[in-house]
């Protein structure tokens, strides 16, 4: 199974930290955020990666290179100066991802999630890893009922930025910038999204405060 890492965002909430440095290259314990993600995935047996880049993307490509340093192979989907957002970025990268389901991971996720458990989560067009709602998303995103993601329910959870997708999840979408979330919501209404709840370590490293928290 190939992995796509979303690394094209501007990271505006990081303020001055991302003026000259793309957010995926901000460091924790001497390693960049994206490097931590790649190393964790490699430990779980993943070796084929696609990384999308836009804002200061050349820095990411120079830093990560071909992936040889970590014993993996990295291809890049370069979106230039006009980021395509989460959905458009994945669609643009589909030729590099092939025809099989792939794992999608945000570059700024800090977690100890066991990625290898997702290899067989391919029965539906998408499978989401959900987490308990953090303070910055108290209302949550989706509900979960017997490993099915639903639009209604008793308790809402937050999408972790980790999921498995079939390439045809993006079928029929026009090229260009669009967000992933509306596609997920539509697929949920069609009962075509499975899911699971993870309650281990997980942080969306989206602000300087959250970056500082994992530094500690």
Q: What is the pLDDT of residue 7?
A: 98
Cα torsion 144, 137, 125, 84 to 10°: value is 170
Helix axes 85-97, 181-189, angle to 10 degrees: 80
The pLDDT of residue 57 is 97
> Directed axis angle between helix 57-64 and helix 33-43, to 10°?
40
Cα 199 to Cα 119, 121, 130, 132, 157: the distances in Å are 19, 18, 9, 7, 11
Which pLDDT value is given to residue 10?
86
- pTM of the entire structure? 0.96
Phi, psi (degrees; rounded to nearest 5) at 126: -150, 150
Please tell me the predicted confidence (pLDDT) of residue 167: 97
pLDDT of residue 60: 98
Cβ distance 102 to 3 under 8 Å?
A: yes
170 Cβ contact list (under 8 Å, min separation 6): 87, 90, 91, 94, 183
Residue 13 makes CB contacts below 8 A (sequence gap 6+) with 206, 207
CB 202 within 8 A of CB 160: yes
Helices (H), the chain: 33-43, 57-64, 85-97, 181-189, 208-215
Give every residue of the chain whose pLDDT is below 70, as ranges: none
Distance in angstroms (rounded) separating the CA atoms of residues 146 and 192: 14
How far the first Cα of the chain sits from its last, in Å, is 33
- DSSP letter, residue 135: G
> Is 3-215 assigned to CATH 3.40.47.10?
no
pLDDT digit string, tens, across residues 52-66: 999 999 999 999 999
Cα–Cα distance, 131 to 160 (Å, whole number): 6
């Amino acid at each position: 199974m190939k992995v796509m890492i979303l690394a094209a965002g501007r990271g505006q909430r990081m303020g001055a930290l991302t003026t000259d440095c793309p957010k995926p290259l901000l460091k924790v314990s001497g390693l960049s955020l994206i490097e931590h993600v790649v190393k964790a995935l490699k430990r779980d047996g993943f070796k084929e990666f696609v990384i999308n880049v836009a804002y200061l993307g050349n820095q990411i490509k120079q830093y990560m290179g071909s992936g040889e340093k970590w014993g993996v192979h990295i291809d890049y989907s370069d979106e230039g100066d006009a980021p395509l957002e989460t959905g458009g970025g994945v669609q643009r990268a589909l030729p590099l991802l092939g025809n099989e389901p792939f794992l999608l991971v945000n570059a700024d996720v800090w977690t100890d999630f066991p990625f290898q458990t997702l290899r067989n989560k391919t029965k539906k067009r998408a499978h989401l890893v959900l987490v308990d709602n953090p303070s910055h998303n108290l209302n949550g995103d989706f509900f979960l009922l017997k490993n099915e993601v639903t639009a209604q329910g008793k308790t809402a959870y937050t999408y972790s930025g980790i999921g498995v997708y079939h390439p045809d999840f993006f079928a029929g979408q026009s090229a260009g910038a669009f967000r992933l979330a509306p596609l997920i919501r539509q697929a949920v209404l069609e009962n075509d999204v499975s899911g699971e709840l993870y309650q281990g370590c997980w942080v969306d490293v989206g602000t300087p405060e959250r970056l500082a928290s994992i530094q500690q």
